[in-house]
């Protein structure tokens, strides 16, 4: 099957864009990911970077990833049940290893688990319209769960939002020393993540996968609509999503990132705007692809997208080496952390370019495919 280079480019942008947010999880305590005032106060520079990243990147690139994951499930349907189940089961296993032994911010486990649920819904959907409506309904259900959690949550924030000095020191200690303490902490984070997946995030992730599947089935993600259509969607969706998100950002800033408001109620504008902006970003690429596809940088980013799994794991390897092994954890602020990102992007671009000059797939993609073939054969035999 011939590759869709525009989708590879969008996937490459998603992989590179996710690092804009993940770099905070690598370099600062986990509470810093959503709360710029995790230390009790925040500089104007850090608050401004938080606001810009929230407006342009937070959840947007993860949403893009999930939409493309759903689109990929559509493309895998002809391979049959055994292949899909084997592929997703292996992704779950890889995500578990990644999350426990390398980095507590893993998303592969979540994608594998929700993929196992979503692919049957995609296969059995009677129409593209039904698939799209179901995806939107699931996503909205997950977003509105934040209202319920906001009402029933304890008003006093825990260490996941406003950690004490002892909590911060302990997190710094296990990051820098590793060993069983680090594994135990990552296991705790994994447990918390699975609870969140079942209670709230899983609804959204499944909804995005179904929406991406609908956009693929309709031909929208394949670029089958007119450039004028994609330009119109890009303009409307990006601007509308940004305005909704900007409301939440402004109110969070004005409330001083109050726990109940900022962790729950004021996350809803972000949750609602993220997939809208993500679709707008995709539309922008599809509108401009005939012109952009000739640029060298676009081709390099497309190669990153072809090796998305390998590059995602490479980012973990680089960042854990820098911040944990070399001891840079909690030594850089948000502005300084953001300056590290282009360096890692350059490694992703060069690694992808030189690897694909010799091989057809990325190293992890090739291994994943080979293991899937063997596992699917065993499942078929059973």
For 317, the domain range is 5-376
Q: Phi/psi of residue 25, each to 5°?
A: -65, -30
Query: 71 and 11 in contact (C-beta within 8 Å)?
Result: no
* The pLDDT of residue 380 is above 90: no
Residue 378 has a pLDDT of: 61
381 pLDDT band, cuts 50/70/90, is very low
* The pLDDT of residue 377 is above 80: no
Q: What is the distance between the alpha carbons of residues 329 and 176, in angstroms, rounded to a whole number?
A: 7
Residue among 366, 109, 30, 73 nearest 217 (CA): 73
Does residue 207 form part of some domain? yes
Does residue 382 form part of some domain? no
List, for residues 123-151, the tens digit of each pLDDT value. 999 999 999 999 999 999 999 999 999 89
Does residue 129 form part of some domain? yes
Whose tokens are 């890889």? That residue is 94
Q: How many domains does the structure of the chain reveal?
A: 1
List, for residues 262-289, the tens digit of each pLDDT value. 999 999 999 999 999 999 999 999 999 9
Query: 159 and 150 in contact (C-beta within 8 Å)?
Result: no
158 pLDDT band, cuts 50/70/90, is confident
Q: What is the distance between the alpha carbons of residues 349 and 82, in angstroms, rounded to a whole number?
A: 34
**Of 124-128, 196-200, 337-341, 374-378, which range is least confident?**
374-378
* The pLDDT of residue 11 is above 90: yes
Span 363-376, mean pLDDT? Answer: 95
Q: What is the distance between the alpha carbons of residues 192 and 359, in angstroms, rounded to a whole number?
A: 38
Span 192-212, mean pLDDT? Answer: 96
Q: What is the mean pLDDT of the chain?
A: 95
| Whole-number percent of the chain with pLDDT over 70 | 98
Largest CA distance in the chain: 61
155 pLDDT band, cuts 50/70/90, is confident
Span 62-75, mean pLDDT? Answer: 97
Q: What is the 3-state secondary structure (H, E, C) of the chain?
A: CCCCHHHHHHHHHHHHHHHHHHHHHHHCCHHHHCCCCCCCCCCHHHHHHHHHHHHHCCCHHHHHHHHHHHHHHHHHHHHCHHHHHHHHHHHHHHHHHHHHHCCCCCCHHHHHHHHHHHHHHHHHCCCHHHHHHHHHHHHHHHHHHHHHHHHHCCCCCCCCCCCCHHHHHHHHHHHHHCHHHHHHHHHHHHHHHHHHHHHHHHHHHHHHHHHHHHHHHCCCCCCCCCHHHHHHHHHHHHHHHHHHHHHHHHHHHHCCCCHHHHHCHHHHHHHHHHHHHHHHHHHHHHHHHHHHCCCHHHHHHHHHHHCHHHHHHHHHHHHHHHHHHCCCCCCCCHHHHHHHHHHHHHHHHHHHHHHHCCCCCCHHHHHHHHHHHHHHHHHHHC
Residue 1 has a pLDDT of: 47
379 pLDDT band, cuts 50/70/90, is low
* The pLDDT of residue 239 is above 70: yes
* The pLDDT of residue 3 is above 80: no
* The pLDDT of residue 2 is above 50: yes
Q: Phi/psi of residue 238, each to 5°?
A: -65, -45
Does residue 381 form part of some domain? no
Q: What pTM was estimated for this model as a whole?
A: 0.95
Does residue 43 form part of some domain? yes
């Amino acid at each position: 099957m011939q590759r869709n280079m525009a989708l590879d480019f969008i996937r490459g942008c998603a992989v590179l864009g996710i690092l804009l947010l993940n770099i905070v999880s690598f370099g600062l305590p986990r509470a810093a990911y959503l709360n710029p005032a995790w230390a009790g106060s925040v500089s104007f520079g850090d608050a401004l970077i938080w606001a810009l990243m929230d407006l342009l990147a937070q959840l947007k690139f993860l949403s893009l990833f999930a939409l493309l994951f759903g689109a990929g499930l559509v493309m895998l349907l002809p391979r049959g049940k055994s292949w899909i189940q084997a592929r997703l089961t292996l992704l779950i296993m890889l995500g578990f290893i990644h999350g426990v032994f390398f980095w507590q911010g893993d998303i592969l486990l979540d994608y594998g688990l929700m993929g196992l649920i979503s692919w049957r819904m995609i296969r059995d959907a009677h129409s593209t319209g039904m698939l799209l409506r179901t995806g939107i309904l699931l996503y909205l259900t997950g977003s509105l769960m934040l209202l319920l959690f906001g009402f029933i949550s304890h008003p006093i924030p825990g260490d996941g939002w406003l950690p004490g000095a002892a909590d911060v020191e302990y997190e710094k200690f296990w990051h820098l020393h590793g060993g069983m303490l680090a594994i135990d902490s990552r296991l705790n984070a994994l447990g918390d993540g699975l609870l969140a997946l079942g209670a709230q995030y899983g609804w959204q992730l499944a909804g995005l996968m179904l929406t991406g599947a609908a956009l693929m089935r309709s031909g929208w993600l394949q670029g089958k609509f007119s450039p004028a259509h994609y330009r119109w969607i890009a303009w409307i969706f990006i601007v509308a999503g940004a305005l909704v998100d900007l409301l939440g950002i402004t109110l969070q800033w004005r409330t001083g990132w109050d726990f109940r408001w900022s962790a729950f109620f004021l996350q809803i504008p972000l949750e609602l705007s993220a997939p809208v902006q993500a679709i707008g970003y995709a539309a922008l690429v599809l509108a401009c692809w005939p012109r952009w596809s000739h640029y060298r940088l676009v081709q390099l980013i497309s190669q990153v997208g072809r090796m998305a799994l390998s590059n995602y794991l490479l980012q973990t390897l680089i960042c854990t080496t820098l911040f944990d092994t070399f001891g840079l954890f909690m030594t850089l602020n948000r502005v300084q952390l953001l300056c590290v990102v282009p360096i890692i992007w350059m490694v992703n671009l060069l690694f992808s370019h030189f690897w694909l000059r010799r091989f057809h797939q990325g190293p992890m993609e090739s291994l994943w495919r080979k293991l899937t073939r063997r596992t699917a054969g065993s499942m078929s035999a059973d």
